Structure formats: C-alpha cells, structure tokens
Structure 1
Amino acid sequence: VYAGRHTAAIDRYREARRRFQEVGASPFIVDLGLWEVFQRFPLPLNDLIGHTEWVNAIGFSPDGTRAISAGNDKAVILWEVATGRKIRIFDGHRDTVACVAFSPDGSLAVSGGFDRMLHLWEVETGRIVQDFVGHEGWVRSVAFCPDGKFLLSGGNDRIVRLWNVTTGRESARFEGHENYVTQVACSPDGKQILAASYDGTILIWNREDGRRLQRLQIGSDYELKNIAFSPDGRHVVSGTAEASMKLWDLATGQEIRTFTGRGKRVCTARFSPEGNRLLTGNYDGTVDLWETETGRLIRTYQGHRDAVCTLAFSPQDDLFLSGSYDRHIKLWSLLPPPGLRAVQAHEGTITSTALSPDGRLGLSGGSDGRVRLWDMATTRLLRTWWGGELPVEAVAFSPDGQRIAAGGGDREIRIWDPATGREETRLSGHEGDILSLAFSPDGKRLLSGGKDHLLKLWDPATGQEIRTFSGHTHWVDAVAFSPSGTRIASGSHDKTVRIWDVEGGLLHTLIGHERAVRTVTFSADGTRLFSGGQDHTIRVWDVETGREIRKITGHSEWVRQVLFAPLPLISLLISAGNDATIRFWDAQSGREWRNLTEGKGAVTALAFDAVRRRMLSGGEDGMLHFWDFSPTQNDRETQIETLVQRLQKNANDAEALVELAGWYALHAAWPQALSTLRHSAEIGNDSLPSLLLARAAWFSGDLPAAREAFLDARARGEAPARYLDLCLQALTKREEER
C-alpha cells in the first residue's frame, strides 16, 4: 500500500481474507486494509474506450457534459461524459493529433497535429468549419482566447500564432523561442500571450502590439516539457529532472514551492478551475492530486497501465479525465472516496456520539447545546433537539432504539422518542454537569455520572431515581454496564476506576492510571474491563479480581474513548484520542492492528457498529465523520475461481455475490451483474453499491431501476452529485428516445 502498488496489495489482502474465512475468523481487520487501499487509490467512475493508439489530449466542454480527445491514431473523438459513449469521430487529420480544445461557448473545437494542420470543427455535426494553414512543423498546443474570436497555436517551428476564428487568417505571430513551443495560453483578460518552450523559457507578450513583456528562465529542457499555467495567469508549474514539480510566480520569476512525490517522473500537469488544486500525470501510470497553497499531496489515483500524458478538470471542479499511452481515458471523482464522509455537525466540540442498534441512525451531542440525529447511509440530518444553552456532554441510544437520552451542563437528562422527536421525560437530581450516560442491556435502567462526583441509576420510563453511588472524589467522566447488567463501572478525574454491584455495593477500586480516566467499557463476556485516560494509556483489568492485566500504549495524547468490538475468533479494541487518531487493537494481546488519522484535531467522540462495519466519530472542530468499512468497492479485477469456491460453500454469501456482480460488470455482462446484485439484496444485503446497481440496470435496459439506483447513489454520496446529475440527464434522454 505505502509503496503505491495497490494491485499487489489487493491481491495479498484478498488472500488473507480467504484464510481468515477458512478458519471462521472475522475478516474485518483485512477489510480495514482493503478499505485503506481504496481510500488511497479510488476507482474510476468510467472508462472511455475508443482510441487505438496513445491518447495525447483531452478537454471538457464548458458545460461539463461532453469531452473531446485526440491521439496518435489521427482521431479526434467526442464523448458523452456520463456514459462514456462515443458520440462521433472527427475525421480529417493525416497524422498524430497532439492537441485539442473547446471554444468558450462549446459550439466549436480546434485540433492540431503532426500534419502541421489546425482544423476547426462544428461540434454538433462534426463538420470542418475552418482550416488554419501556416505552421512549418508539428502543432503541439492550441488554446482559445477568452472571447472565442481568436485562438493560439504553437509547435515545432518555434512560433506562436494568433488566428482569426472566423476568417482562418493569421492575425499575429509571436517569436523569440529557440526551441519547440510546448504550451500556449492567453491571460484571463485576453491582453497577454504566454508560451513555454523546450528552450527552458517562458515568454510573455503584449497581444495588442506584439511587444515582449517578460522572459523567464525556468529550467532545463526537460522541465518545460510538462508545464501548466494557472487559470489567473499568475503562476506556472513545471516538472523537474528530480521527479518533482515547481510552482513559479510569473511576475517575478521566483520559485514559490516544490511538489515532491515518491520519485515519480511527471509527464503532464493541470490546474483546477479555481487554481487551488493541481493534478500531475506520471510516467508510472498514476495521477497525483495536490493542494496548491501548501504543496500537500491529497490523493493518488492509479488505474492506467502506462504513462498518463494528458489531464482535464471538469468546469465544476468535481471530476477529472486522464488520458494515457495505454489508449484509455478514465473519468475520476475529485471527492473523497465514499468510505469516509464528513459534515460540519456542530458549532463547537462534538462531545459524544452513539449509533442506533440497527446501525441506521447516528446521534451526536455538542458543546453548542444541540443533539442531532443523522442517517448513517446518506449523512442527512434528520432531527435536531435543543438541549439548552449549556453544552451537551453525553448522548445514548436505548438497546431497542426507541429512546434517546442526553445530558450536560444544565444538570438534567432529557429523554426523547427518535421517531417523533417528542420529549418523554426529564430526569433531575445531579448537582453538577452530567458527563456520561449508559443504558442497561435490557433498556430498563439508565446510568449517569457527573461533576458532583456521583453515579445515579434511573428508571427511564418513569423518570424515577433508583439509586445513588458515591465514593469518587472527583468528576465521574465515564460509566458502563456489564453485558449481564449486574455490574457497572465508572472512571473518574480522581484517577481511579471503580466496579460496582448494580444494587449499590462497591466491589473494586482499580488504581493504575496516573491521570484522569475518560472512558470505560466491558468485554462481551464481562470478564474484562478496559479503561483509557489522560495518561495516554489503555488499561485492561480482570473484573473478578480487580487486577491490572495489561497496559496498552501508543497514543501520544489523552485517550478519549475506548470501545470493545466482539468479532468471530477476534476481539477488537477501538480507541480515539487527542492525538487525532483512531486505533484498532487486538483486545487479547494489545497489539495495534491499524491507525487511522481522522483530521487535524482531537477525536473527542466515537461509536462503532461491528455488525454493519460503520463508525461515527466527532472532533473538537465540530466535524462529524461517517466511516463505512463494508467492502463495496468491487469492480476491480477479482479472482473468479475464489468467488466460485466461496459461493459453492455458501450460495447466500452476500459479499461474494456483490464481488461476482463487479466481475460481471468488468466484463460487460450487465444482465448477470444485475441479477446477481438483486439476489444479494433478496437475502438481506442492505449495503449494495448503488452506482454499480445503477449501471447494471441501465445497460440491462431497466431504466426505472437505474434511475432509482442513481438517486440512491447520490443520497449516499457514492459519486459527485454533478456526475450523477449528468447520468440522470442521459438516462432521461434514453427514456425520451424510447
């Protein structure tokens, strides 16, 4: 994974997954690894197949619905972006086509090639409107001026030419380069002409009188083969022989920063429409996405089998196209992969999170005094409760999902019906802020802990206080019920963990933490207790004897939350802390399995559903993160023999069925993909990849089902909304044609 060899990583993980399943162990740890692969290397949304040789140039239409490409096969091709459908081929060039561009209004396109010709095409008909004759060598770059009335071209004859689009005549020429011109551009105001060359320079001219305004010596010949001008015309990025990119200020000629990857040679680069992001296509077949302001590598896209030599951002800045020597054009999403999504949920710190028993709903409480209910599949906000002016410190779902409890700075516990939003009752009795809540396993009791150093046991149905537990000498930060409901545990700012009999007797006082204890949780069998605290450690205790079994270290700051996740043959601990990490541990040995970084600040709240592999976490920045570890990315290559063996053992293996559907889709067997996905749904799989289902339904002719699946994919955030809207528009056209 970390070497960027994602295909090899997937093969190893799948082999590991098979071995886990053979012995009846949960493959969740393996799936975490696969999840990370797909986060690092997202899948393409579409593959545009049509060129028979290298793809040299691509571009989006101004409305983002179409794309145009050019290649060594002398072809210029117009595509429908949503479907990857080839609309038409523009036939006219007699040699390699090196460059292509849409006019600002999208009605025309220009292409230039090694035949020294520039052709102007009418996009709707494919008719040649104008030929531009004059270059004495290969044409390498073309660009329209902002007004669409003129266009620029440059190439091997070292001359930049300005052409009148209407007449086809050369209006001006700009000279001064001593080697091939590799890139031409017009400033956003149309007043300046920019060009880069193999001579290592960038020249800038005044368009009106042809006067040269500036000459910038950027670097060697190599560096000016792969450059990109920023949309505002103020910056340029260029490649280096040291496998990095440099950002330059065009006004001063000063280097601003360097974008350094993992030793990759860069073939091409492109700025986003806003100029805040940069794409680089590399000779190893990968594409890197960078943050322009900081030089930070955001994400790597890997899918091509040869050098990526051309790139294009969509006008809406949510998609991009990559073209390669492997003859393929791929459409990618610029959004983070769907396995992790984030929303600004609260105005202050998220203090607590919880998941409903069926895993469909998430709950968050914040320092802004609000409690919010969320749809875990779509991240949609369903309901907001006002918890008062003071912070909400704790939230909890009842085991049957019929009640929600929340407590905080107003010293009251409110209980609501999540279905109706109605407040059922309020529990009063604490004389300090309420910091922690927990329902008993049968849901008939509610436990609370607070700044008054007390624990209180309540009847949530009547609001009656049943019992008070006293003994702590500082705030009670954490409370938990044992699985049997007969014992309770508490963690406190007094550095101790206490185990109580639910009837009121103190059984053990556990001493070991060196600072405040922030979280406690029982193992599934109730024999062990886990605690985490401000001393950066997790402690494992024997419930019966009170003996400390193990101290687990790894966090570099406070441990805010520890959860126990029982899985077949493997039990996990999941912890979150102020060091901005979420860590997965082997609960038996204390070995750390995986470390996920949530963001830049402390992870202050965490909830996990082991059955549905969903997680909800919150931070001090008010961001709520929705994690989905279910293996839904299944249209990569997969071993069909392994799938057959799995399905022979269990014909209702829902995950194997989804993988099989992905294999069918990869080989364009759409009816089989659709029937396989539907079978998976019939046996209870509620996590089908909606985008795959939509494509299978579409290409199988079931347009209503395709529409429903595309809408579901948009609700789930499986692809950029703009792309899915394009798919729905194309679907509407097909329905009208029918």
Structure 2
Amino acid sequence: MKTDFKFSNLLGTVYCQGNLLFSPDGTHLYSPVGNRVTVFNLVDNKSYTLPFAHRKNISRIGLTPQGNLLLSVDEDGQAILTNVPRRVVLYHFSFKSAVTALSFSPSGRYFVAGLGRKIEVWHVPSTPDSNVEGDLEFAPFVRHHTHTQHFDDVRHIEWSSDSRFFLSASKDLTARIWSLNPEEGFTPTVLSGHRQGVVGAWFSKDQETIYTVSKDGAVFDWKYTTKPGMDEDEMVDDSDMRWRIVNRHYFMQNSATLRCAAFHAESNLLVAGFSNGIFGLYEMPDFNMIHTLSISQNEIDFVTINKSGEWLAFGASKLGQLLVWEWQSESYILKQQGHFDAMNALVYSPDGQRIVTAADDGKIKVWDIESGFCIVTFTEHTSGVTACEFAKKGNVLFTASLDGSVRAWDLIRYRNFRTFTAPERLSFSCMAVDPSGEVVAAGSIDSFDIHIWSVQTGQLLDRLSGHEGPVSSLAFAPNGGLLVSGSWDRTARIWSIFNRTQTSEPLQLQSDVLDIAFRPDSSQIAISTLDGQLSFWSVSEAQQISGVDGRRDVSGGRRITDRRTAANVAGTKSFNTIRYSTDGSCLLAGGNSKYICLYSVTTMVLLKKFTVSVNLSLSGTQEFLNSKLLTEAGPAGLLDEQGEASDLEDRIDRSLPGSKRGDPSARRRTPEVRVTGVAFSPSGSAFCAASTEGLLIYSLDSTVQFDPFDLNMEITPASTLAVLEREKDYLKALVMAFRLNEAGLIQRVFQAIPYTDIGLVVEQFPTVYVARLLRYVAAQTEQSPHVEFCLLWIKALVDKHGAWLTANRGKVDVELRVVARAVSKMRDEIRRLADENMYMVDYLLGQASGKKTASSDTKALGWRDEEGSPMKALPSSNKGLSLDDLIQQDIAEDQEEWIGLE
C-alpha cells in the first residue's frame, strides 16, 4: 500500500478571523482559515486550501490587482508571498510587528501595511508575469517610506483609483490622506470630527468626495471646499480651501455598534455590518437605504464587495460563518458554516464521495469531498453527537448522542426516519451498525449494558450485560457475525448476538479500552488502551497475536499548562481513535497530540507520522515552551488581557468558566491540538482526520501544478513545440511535455498527435511515464469532446503496456481506477444520448420518407445549387441513386449533427 499521503484540503472550517478578499474577476473568494487560506470558487461551486501553513493564525491577507500574488500575514507579522495560479510559496518575510491593515495599490506597484499606529509603504515584488513596468529587484521586499503620525492602531487603508493617494482610518478617531510620492501643493491631511474610532474611509469614483464611517454609526461626507457661506471670489489664498464635512448621516441600529463597512465606488454602494448580526446596504451620497438583513446571531466581523458590485461577502468568526449575498436578486451565492464546537466523530460514505462529521454542538454535517462544501446539516439532536456510522448498503446514516437517542437518517430525502431510545435516560457514547443494516447497538458511560435495537421496527431487542465499567467502544465484524465491545473495566468482549445462546468471550487487557477497530476481512481486531498500547487479537482464537507500544510515537507537543516536557506528560500517551486501511495492511491512529501515526499491521513498524498542525496559536504544537512567555503569574497565554481591552464588547467575557474546548473558530482560549476521529476512504487513496483545525484530508492523488521531472537546460516549451511542429517527432515532444509537466503544453502536444500514430507513440513510450500518461488520458476522457481519440489512447496503452500494468498493479491502482471511472462515465453518457435521440431519428426518417415524390425531376423537387439557380442534373457522384438512397445518404451524413443538437 502507498503511504505518501499529502495534505490536500481542509473542510469543516470556512472562516476564522481577518479579512476576506475577492479575486479581480470576482469569481473566487479568499478566506483565512486558522493558519491557512481557503479559496472558494463561487462559479464552479468548489473550494480548495492553499498548501502553505503559517506558524500562527492569519490576521490579514492581500491580493494584487492582477490576482497572481497573495500576501498573507499572521498575528506576529510573519508574511508569506504566494504565487496563486501555481500555488507555490515565493518568499517568507517578517514585518517585525502585528499587521492591522493591508492594501495593494490599483497599479500593482505598491502595497501599504498598517503596523499598529505606523504605516509602511512597500514595493510589490516583481514577477515575470505581473505585467508591471520596471526591472526585477534583487531584494523581494523594498520599503518605499514610513508614516508615524497616527496615535492608535490603523484599522483600514484605501487607495485612490490612480494610485497616487491613499486613506488611512485609525482608532484615534481620525482618518488621514497621504500621497504615495511628494505631490506639488499637497500636504498630508487629517480628517477629524468622529467621536469614536474610524472603521473605514473611501474615495468616491471622481475622487472629489471622501466617505468616513466610525464605530458609533456615523457617516461623514468630506469635500475639498471653502468655508460655508464663502464664495470663491472672496478667497484670499489656497489656505481657505480644505477638506470639510458637508453631510452627516447616522445608522440607526439601537444599541448595536458598527463592526465593519465597505464601499463600492463604481456604484456608490455602502455596506455596513453591525454587532447584532444585521447588515445594511445604502446608496451614497444621499444615504438611501436599499435593504437590511439579519444574517447571523453574532456580530459580523468583516464585509467586502466584489469588483462588479453585485456580490457582498460577510465573515462572522464567532460562529465560523461565511456568506456571499447577491443584493440585486436578494439571494445567497454561498452560505457555509463550520461546527461551532469540537468534532467528535467522522465517517466516509460507502461511495467515498462524502464525509459526515458529528460534533459537540449537536449538529451533523455532510461534506462533499469534490466541492469541499457542506451540503446538508441535521439539527435534530439536542446535545453533543458522539458517534456516526453508515450502513454498508444504501444511504442510511446512524448517529448516537448524549441526548439519549440513536437516530437513523435517510441521505436521499435528508430526513430522520427512525429514533431509538432506551427505557431509562442514558447518554450514548459509542455505537455500531450491523453490515446488513438490520441491527444497531449503542453503549453508554452511564450504564454498563449494551443496548440493541431493530432498525425495521425501532424496538429494543436486547440488553447485553457483562461489563463491569462504562462501555467506551463498539464494532461489528464486516461479515456481520460478531460484535466486539470495549470497556473501562480493562476488558473487551466478543458477542455472538445472532446465536441462540448470545455468549461472550472476554479479552483481558492491561488498561482501559479507548477504541476498537475490525480488520476488513473480519479475522483480526485492533484495540487501543489508555496506557498507549495497540494490541492485535485473532477473532477466531480470541488470543493476542502482537502488539505495539505507541506511547513514544503519539506523545508530542507540550501544552501551555504542562509542567513537564512533552516526553514526560502522561495525558497525551494514548490513541483515542484507530482505523484499518481498506486492504487491512495498515492501521491509522490518532489521539490528543499533534501526530497521526500509520503502522504496518504485519511488521508492527511505524511507517509514517503526519503532523496535524504547526499552528502556535494552538496549545500542544511546541515540543519546548518559550521561556520568554513564562512569567511570574504563569504562562503568558493564560493571562487574562481581555479586561484591559479598550472597547466594551471586547471586555465582556462570554466564555464558560473552566472550559477547555471552546469554540474552534474563535480561538480565544488557546484550544488544544488533538485528533478526535480518523477514517480511510473506501478506495484507500485518501484518509481524513477530525482535528481542532477542522477536517483535514490527506490524499495520494493530489494534482500539483508544477512538478519538473528529469529536466535539463534544453527542455523548454519553445523547444518542445519546435520538435512537435517542425521535426514531427511526436514521441519526443510528448516526453518533453511530460518532463515540463505544464498542463497547457501537454494538452497541445497530446491533441496534435495524429490518431494513426497513437499506437506507434505508445509502444515506444518510456514506462516511467506510463502511469502519468494513463492518468492524463483518463482526465481528458472525462473532459474532452474527442471521445474516439481518447478511447484509442486507452486501448493502445492497455495493448502495448498491459504486461507492465499487470506487474505494477499496486503502483497504478489509482490510475486504473480513474480510467475505469472515465470509460464507464462515457459509456453512460453515450447510452443516455442515444436513448434521448432515438425518437428524433425515427421522426426524421419518417418525415423524409413521407415527403418522397414520384417525380425525379430536380426542378419539381426544388433542388438548387449554391448560387440559388435550379440544378439541371444530379451531381456526378450521386448518379444512379434513387431518391430513397439520396435521402438515406443525407440523413446518414447529418446524423452526427442531429445528435449534437440534443
């Protein structure tokens, strides 16, 4: 089995803190998710997470007007510059202090960063594809100049459309106008008059008006004019001209304060988000209210508008909400929300296309893997959901909750069709479903019995007693014969619940049982215990076969409150969740640490350790604590600085006393990094883990944008095209294209190869590239309209390299699976197309035969040539054909067009 899994996507969390950005074309939305950035494609309804990760949560992101460079800055001022189209990190840079505002100029030449009360203007690092005049700099970041006139944190920076001036809005109750370079007759100007901190400041489209918005809901219009009542003729000099307030407007939202605002100069739209979860849309300069809408139960943290002014994006960090609203049609383009509390369990659907997560907030969410979006949320449970599992056949999901119920869900109609309860009030902590879907079992921490229900009737069938402690884990054998239960009484029991005697076989262990997993062939079980041991047992003989001491593997990361190093802390030295791989050769294990371990079942060797997070904003990601952060009053991360905040709503503490889990989207109480659930996909090509960061997906077949292979100086796109077009050496051109691994170049070479030469090219194609060619052809089969061309490639590959593919089946199993899926998809589409067009063809044949006339005179038939004159005789190629033959021939020639019309 392949073990080179790599991080591919992050689901379960859509927004944490910081600002949101639209791409220049307005089709993509960039959202900071913890220490990563997720990109939402709003047109194709997909999302992906950029591969880089910061060492702390991201506070600000900025995008160049060309959309090719993304600058993300974390809470400590550490910045990463990323090439967005290629998803490659270009530079790491430190601003030395926290960045509170960030904005790129419309020209793409400069960007401004607000560092507390200081403003710095920097040159944008040049790239060959940035389309900006000027030579490449030797240093990636060059400071242009610095301003230090503000007295408090700068909260917002906005550029003028010509990139000559920019506005800064600060908490010191003022906004200021700056010039990029010294301008004749211009001096930096202070716009003062607000009574609370200024949230935003913007230029109008003609740059004759400036709008400023403050936290108390005041909107001021500023114009460069004389004193009120003074005519231009009365002016003595230019000193009488200055920026003055010409209008004052106020948002009326009772006691709610303004949290964020955005202005679209092209359409004069002003959007404001308030602390009560309401946003308002206003037309300037008349301040006409277009509409208001309540979109959240908590405050809105950030709002932005796309370039066309049609879509508004909102982020609410308290509940982890991300919304995109089209104001003209008053409809949601995107409405996503992660779990409010920690995830407890996850499971793949049988087809591997979806992941179901259950959390302490009582919600069950179904995530689509391909798009990355949550497609449905179930809220029927009234308390934390602790377990979820699919029936092996059908689309039936079972969940167990602390509210004392086990529920069955229909994932076709998205409804709860059965609820199972016990005679007395219990909080169910674990659950298992028989593969046939006829029986469901659940265990509780309150009771030592295992409850079993019939899915058909919903009746309680039996209560299995025998454990002397709370039941912590349940698992049915994949073949449906046995049920295994684990308990805190240091035993695991094998139950034959379908036999008349219902006997149980106890397995004695050295510590409390945390989790149990069945191997897919039902012959072996793995048991994780509190002392960090993984033991493997034979089901038929009820004897231990082998074991692994995982304490050293799983221990990692020192919490803020730990007095000992990570190697000596007892609380992290166990696996809370374990799962077998699809082929049963490996075991995946995770616990209360930053590591996920992958073990070989046969050799008992640790194959790989995956680091869940390097985010220092989480507790438990460091091996050693920083002595600089240890004070006499305790760790600096635990000191309550909230009461010293300047704003009232920031001083209010709404957290539960003693809460250690907290809200994973707010990140206020330094949540601990941990893994609460792991699962392999049914195909074995990916696995997912429910962690504090969110739902992490690691996969084998993640496509990278650029992965050069066997490159040398002679191989360039230009030389590849020269070999293709001048020398007509198709084999060499294809190999060179695969070495460069540029998608556009490969497609051009691939489609330029004549179909008559496909067999010859494939026969001489090096075997080292066969797997990549197979995958590429499969992808083209799903996307390209050239059906027969792609099928000829697949046939040639199987014919010429069949022996190699058979011998290396383990290496190319993913590629072969993709090919099989593409061929079956094409077959289904062609069958559907033929079925839909069958009656159309019959109708056309009937119409043609009905209009047949006895006369063979071309004038009577009305046939005309290209110039419109009647044809004297039939074309020479058609001489000797009857009218029936001609009609049939025309229909045969045009049949492809008729099918294409459908």
Q: TM-score range with shorter-chain normalisation?
A: 0.3 to 0.5
Larger radius of gyration: 2
What is the TM-score when the length of structure 1 is the normalising length? 0.46
Q: Name the structure with the higher strand share.
A: 1
